[in-house]
Structure 1
Amino acid sequence: MASNPNRPDLPDAILSLERATIVGDALSQMVFGIVICVFLQSMYQLIDGPPRRNEKRNIPLITFTLVLFALGTVFVSMDLNSLKLAWVDNRNAPGGPIAYSLAQYGKPITVVPNSCAIIGDWLAAGFLLYRCVIIFHLNFAIVAIPILMYLASIAMSIMVLFQSSRPNANLWTTLTVNFGIPYYTLSAALNVLITIMITTRLLLYRRSLRNTLGREQAMSVPFASVASMLVESSLLYAVTSILFLVPYGLKSDVSNVFIPILIQGP
């Protein structure tokens, strides 16, 4: 194969990391487009739907949805700006765009979007945990473990943000990874656990309804279908968490493909 005369004078490892970063950010923009559609549809139902049913609007849920979307928007906007600075404005920085980007980890241009991503994860996981608590009728003997895991993930995420923002540090430095693996493991495990708990509870609920009302009536109840249960329990987010966690733990460049998508998951 003929050599590329326009190839940057950078090591293969750096070029591989750059490719993974670009792919991850491009996929993130695609996912954000889906997020916008879901957000607009959700807001339409939350704002316009209740008056049609002679109900009051759920202001707390509307506010929660707005805040979560705002955090995601800030992350995407600042991430795009970081790409512009690294690949256009500072293209010839020593070590290339990736080296420039990693050098910005302790500055607001990176700390702010990273903070938005972590806070968004808190809110999304907290809301999922809230639904689990409600479904189990405030039985804290059952939901105690998810609650403890949630609190532990918050503590680990704070340490990840602190360690990655220190001078000469980033998300992939050894000390940050030492906190990052427990954090992302807890986050993924929490989502998987709550997914299993909610799905099991709803399956049992559907079976009870089917025995009482019949199959057709049971399937017409909200959250009774398999598709509704999967969406309700955030299975896709749990899967994406695992897809990121494995290469991140192995310190593989592939983790850069999934982390921007993971941030859009909440």
Structure 2
Amino acid sequence: MSSAWIPDETPEELWLDRINLAGVGIGNIAYGVHITLFFLCFIAWWADRRRAPKSAYSMLAFISCVFILGSIGNGTQMRLLQMAYVDYRNYPGGPGAFETFEGSVKVNVIGTAAYTVNAWFADGLLLYRFSILWSFSRFRWAIVPALLGFVLSVISSCILLSQIADPGGALWISSSANMALTFWSSSISVTCYCTLGIVVKLLYMRYQVRKAFGANEPDSPYFSVAAMLIESALLYAAFALSFLITYAQGNTASLMLLSILGQVQSIAPLLIVLRVAQGRGWTIAKVKETERLGASGFGAPTVQFLHPSTAYGSETVAGTGSHTPNMEFEGRSVLSLATKPSDGPLRCSAEGCAGDRSSGEQSDSAV
């Protein structure tokens, strides 16, 4: 190739151009994952709307908002890329400099606002999942620091958006950098705090179950590695922390990570919502039953797993214990943990647990 074709830019400016292109390209791949997860979640919750309409419609509204905001963010990034590399290709410093320093253009402000509100949704869902797992613990006050961090992130993000919207405003200039650091530091602190708290709580509850069941501990989708990774939104926490570190250092890699982070913050909550829709996510009732089992001090009950019926019937796997009568689990291979009522056997299914008691049934709330 002829050297005459090389743009009149320094190696650093050319590197900035490449980083921007790579970030938007990888972000588009992540957006494809986002679309797939959205339709999977939508189909699952739409099919569940008659059984649990309140939960179903709430989740449909949530995933729709996340999808719309993520789509707006991705679309504005593509438009900004077009402006930098086509419409204003002769901008001093090249396309990368245009995207870095012309943050006040309307399309960029709209995209930044969409991703910022999306971060509120992602952090809000993580806070809600955190509160579910810790709601029956004596350390339920642990939610307070996360709530304070969330409020700080919302306030600082609003100030940041007003600074970017001013003429000449951008994320990467000194006048906005401090507020941007405040916003992302508080938001990512909430994410990491909730991630760590959820993992710790799941490990502790798994210890409780193993202690109660002993050698006969059943396989459970609630304590698997996948459950901990998804429930804690570890994917989002890892990307967010990587971005914060590179942004604070002034590393150009933060430009690429920011484009990807906008979609990852949509993917992480959709994974949680899909897991709940499939009957494998933690709910308030399941946490309460597990806490009760761990506090009861009883030995391992007899457990029957009645798997979903196939074309030729149902497959049954039984484990035995010594202290309590049968507890049966049926439906979508859901492990629902509960103690036995004093006056009758207990049956647990995907919808909840019920015993032979006059007080009625105990139902399992969705999400």
TM-score normalized by the length of structure 1: 0.90
| Aligned counterpart, 2:222 | 223
Structure 1 residue 109, shift from structure 2 partner: 1.0
- Measured at CA, do residues 46 and 81 of structure 1 come closer, stay the same or move farther in structure 2, by a change above 3 Å? same
Equivalent residue of 2:104, what SS? coil
Structure with the higher fraction of residues in strand conformation = 2
| Aligned counterpart, 1:135 | 133
- Measured at CA, do residues 218 and 202 of structure 1 come closer, stay the same or move farther in structure 2, by a change above 3 Å? farther
- Contact 1:206–1:218 (CA under 8 A) maintained in structure 2: no
Structure 1 residue 3, shift from structure 2 partner: 7.6
Structure 1 residue 99, shift from structure 2 partner: 3.8
| Aligned counterpart, 1:243 | 242
Q: Measure, in 1, the Cα distance between the counterparts of 2:176 and 2:57.
A: 38
| Aligned counterpart, 1:9 | 8
Q: Measure, in 1, the Cα distance between the counterparts of 2:183 and 2:35.
A: 27
- Measured at CA, do residues 215 and 146 of structure 1 come closer, stay the same or move farther in structure 2, by a change above 3 Å? farther
| Aligned counterpart, 2:206 | 206
Structure with the higher fraction of residues in helix conformation = 1
- Quick check: 91-100 or 223-232, which moved more? 91-100
Structure 1 residue 145, shift from structure 2 partner: 0.5
- Contact 1:209–1:218 (CA under 8 A) maintained in structure 2: no
| Aligned counterpart, 1:19 | 18
Aligned residues: 262
* Deviation by residue 1:154-206 (Cα, 9 ceiling, x = unmatched): 12212222222222221100121111122212222211110111111111112
Q: Aligned runs of 1:1-266 on 2, under 5 Å? A: 4-49=3-48, 54-56=51-53, 58-102=56-100, 104-137=102-135, 141-213=141-213, 218-220=218-220, 222-266=221-265
Structure 1 residue 89, shift from structure 2 partner: 2.5
- Contact 2:49–2:57 (CA under 8 A) maintained in structure 1: no
Q: Measure, in 2, the Cα distance between the counterparts of 1:88 and 1:228.
A: 45
- Quick check: 206-215 or 69-78, which moved more? 206-215
- Contact 1:152–1:186 (CA under 8 A) maintained in structure 2: yes
Structure 1 residue 207, shift from structure 2 partner: 1.9
Ranges in structure 2 where 5+ consecutive residues have no aligned partner? 266-367
- Quick check: 84-93 or 30-39, which moved more? 84-93
- Quick check: 224-233 or 202-211, which moved more? 202-211
* Deviation by residue 1:131-165 (Cα, 9 ceiling, x = unmatched): 11122117652211010011111122122222222
Structure 1 residue 234, shift from structure 2 partner: 0.6
Equivalent residue of 1:265, what SS? helix
Q: Measure, in 2, the Cα distance between the counterparts of 1:93 and 1:200.
A: 50
Equivalent residue of 2:4, what SS? coil
- Measured at CA, do residues 68 and 4 of structure 1 come closer, stay the same or move farther in structure 2, by a change above 3 Å? same
Q: Measure, in 1, the Cα distance between the counterparts of 2:247 and 2:9.
A: 23
- Contact 2:157–2:183 (CA under 8 A) maintained in structure 1: yes
Equivalent residue of 1:92, what SS? coil
- Residue type at the aligned position of 1:175: S
Q: Measure, in 2, the Cα distance between the counterparts of 1:78 and 1:218.
A: 48
Bigger radius of gyration among the two: 2
* Deviation by residue 1:104-142 (Cα, 9 ceiling, x = unmatched): 422321111110000000011011101111221176522
Equivalent residue of 1:105, what SS? coil
Q: Measure, in 2, the Cα distance between the counterparts of 1:261 and 1:101.
A: 16
- Measured at CA, do residues 4 and 114 of structure 1 come closer, stay the same or move farther in structure 2, by a change above 3 Å? same
Residue identity over aligned pairs, in percent, reads 27
Structure 1 residue 216, shift from structure 2 partner: 6.6
Equivalent residue of 1:5, what SS? helix
Q: Measure, in 2, the Cα distance between the counterparts of 1:265 and 1:37.
A: 13
